[in-house]
Amino acid sequence: MFQINPSWFQVDTWLIVLVAISVVVFLAVAIIWGIQAHRQRILAGREDLIGKTAEVKAALDPKGTIFIQGENWTAISQGGRVESGEEVIITKVDGLKLYVAKKE
């Protein structure tokens, strides 16, 4: 009959300590990086458009088209009529519509 030797299942104490320390350090670094990434400002997408300057392509009365970052967007003027060629500042994003104010 096959005999199991208990010495086959012994693990060195230093190996257990080393693995435990490695796991704790890895988790600490991952949590710190996760918190830092969560606190950073959004650098892409619709949220990044707020505060940027765009050029009016089709007059806003109050709805029209603006051109920003190589794309045409539907925009709604919050301050009355804005003529084609003028610059506006994006104040709000709602779905695929941008709310803009005339640049002063």
Q: What pTM was computed for the model?
A: 0.58
pLDDT reported for residue 17: 96
Question: What is the domain partition of the chain in residue ranges?
Answer: 6-39, 46-102
Q: What is the DSSP letter of 11?
A: -
Could you read off the pLDDT of 29-67 as tens digits, one per residue?
999 999 999 998 766 677 788 899 999 999 998 899 999
Quote the tokens at residue 9: 């299942």
Q: Helix (H, G, I), strand (E, B), or coil: what is residue 8? A: helix
CATH number of 46-102: 2.40.50.140
CA separation, residue 73 to residues 46, 49, 78, 98 (Å)? 11, 11, 15, 7
